[in-house]
């Protein structure tokens, strides 16, 4: 029984990792550009398919395709910023939000047109999971968790130690003051997209690796990403990571626990509902996030 719960915990951390990589970007974009980026899930999808494209075009492995996918997703995000979001910078946040829903549609349908609606995988064949103290974990899953930890450490070093990282935090604190101070806000915005889209692509590749590629890959997980962002306190990247773990683990535990306790039914198809309940509860009781006080 304990083993079963630990196993669910591993799945939770796995899901949490994928959510975390995207939620960080949503949180940074909200902090700096002041709108909820609804195209973030589809940016993940695009990243996942860019990796597939590189693999089929060159025959390379998924790990060689990974940096290509990240780079391509960054370029796509920068292009959309240039063509769509930048023109709307001086308008109200809700207009940017709706524009991002439009961008989400464009991205998802572009994926549909180019790669078709069929579900696919990076590499076919079944790899047996590794076993450790009765727990099962696949090699890919281990790489996903380790990769996420590394990326989060890199992000943290960037935000805490570099001039641009500090400027990003400053602008998230107070965009007007950042402008008055002489911080180059256009460059901060550019870096926000680089980091946000890069991490989204990483999350998309990881998610596709753990499950399967399909055009709604990222859109399906957007609710969980927003829930994590809200849980962490909107605009706080570190909070978003913690929020992602809470969302990932509670979704997996909530779905799997009845089975562990011998129930012959499962809540697996209710994972989004669990996430949704978590988000509503959070908005009702602690809209400022789990940690910190600033609303």
Partner 1 sequence: MTLLAAEKLRGGYGGADILNGTTLRVGASEIVVIVGPNGAGKSTALKALVGLVSLREGRIIFGDEEVTGLRADQLAARKLCYVPQEKNVFASLTVQENLEMGAFLRRDDFSARMEQIFDLFPVLKERRRQAAGTMSGGQRQMVAIGRALMLEPRLLLLDEPTAGLSPKFTEMIFTKIVEINTMGVAVLMVEQNARDALAIAHRGYVLVMGQNRFEDTGPALAANPEVAHMFLGG
Q: Which residues bind partner 1 (CB under 8 A)?
A: 163, 166-167, 169-170, 172-174, 176-184, 294
State which residue, 31 or 47, has the beta carbon closest to partner 1. Answer: 31
CA 191 to chain centre: 17
State which residue, 1 or 295, has the beta carbon closest to partner 1. Answer: 295
State which residue, 89 or 166, has the beta carbon closest to partner 1. Answer: 166
CB of 180 to partner 1, least distance (A): 4
State which residue, 62 or 171, has the beta carbon closest to partner 1. Answer: 171
CB of 31 to partner 1, least distance (A): 10
CB of 178 to partner 1, least distance (A): 8
State which residue, 74 or 171, has the beta carbon closest to partner 1. Answer: 171
CB of 166 to partner 1, least distance (A): 5
d(CA 47, CA 197): 9
CB of 165 to partner 1, least distance (A): 10
State which residue, 184 or 220, has the beta carbon closest to partner 1. Answer: 184
CB of 234 to partner 1, least distance (A): 14
State which residue, 59 or 293, has the beta carbon closest to partner 1. Answer: 293
The sign of the dihedral angle between the CA atoms of 136, 227, 242, 155 is positive
- State in Å, rounded, how far the first CA of the chain is from the last one: 40
CB of 45 to partner 1, least distance (A): 32
- CA proximity to 248, closest of 10, 37, 36, 45: 10
């Amino acid at each position: 029984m304990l083993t079963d719960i630990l196993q669910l915990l591993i799945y939770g951390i796995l899901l949490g990792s994928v959510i975390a990589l995207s939620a960080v970007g949503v949180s940074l974009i909200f902090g700096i550009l002041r709108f909820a980026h609804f195209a973030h899930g589809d940016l993940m999808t695009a990243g996942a398919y860019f990796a597939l494209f590189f693999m089929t075009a060159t025959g390379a492995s998924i790990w060689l395709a990974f940096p290509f996918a990240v780079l391509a997703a960054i370029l796509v995000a920068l292009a959309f910023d240039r063509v769509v979001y930048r023109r709307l910078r001086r308008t109200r946040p809700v207009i940017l939000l709706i524009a991002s829903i439009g961008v989400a549609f464009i991205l998802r349908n572009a994926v549909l047109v180019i790669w078709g609606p069929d579900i696919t995988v990076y590499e076919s064949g079944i790899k047996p999971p590794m076993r450790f103290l009765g727990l099962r974990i696949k090699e890919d899953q281990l790489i996903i968790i380790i990769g996420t930890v590394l990326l989060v450490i890199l992000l943290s070093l960037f935000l805490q130690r570099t001039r641009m990282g500090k400027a990003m935090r400053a602008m998230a604190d107070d965009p007007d003051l950042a402008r008055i101070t002489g911080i180059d806000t256009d460059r901060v915005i550019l870096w926000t997209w680089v980091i946000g889209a890069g991490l989204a692509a990483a999350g998309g590749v990881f998610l596709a690796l753990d499950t399967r590629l399909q055009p709604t890959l990222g859109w399906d997980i957007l609710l969980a990403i927003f829930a994590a962002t809200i849980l962490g306190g909107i605009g706080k990247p570190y909070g978003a990571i913690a929020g992602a773990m809470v969302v990932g683990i509670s979704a997996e535990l909530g779905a799997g626990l009845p089975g562990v306790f011998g129930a012959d039914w499962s809540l697996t198809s209710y994972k989004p509902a669990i996430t949704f309940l978590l988000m509503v509860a959070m908005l009702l009781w602690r809209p400022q996030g789990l940690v910190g006080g600033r609303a």
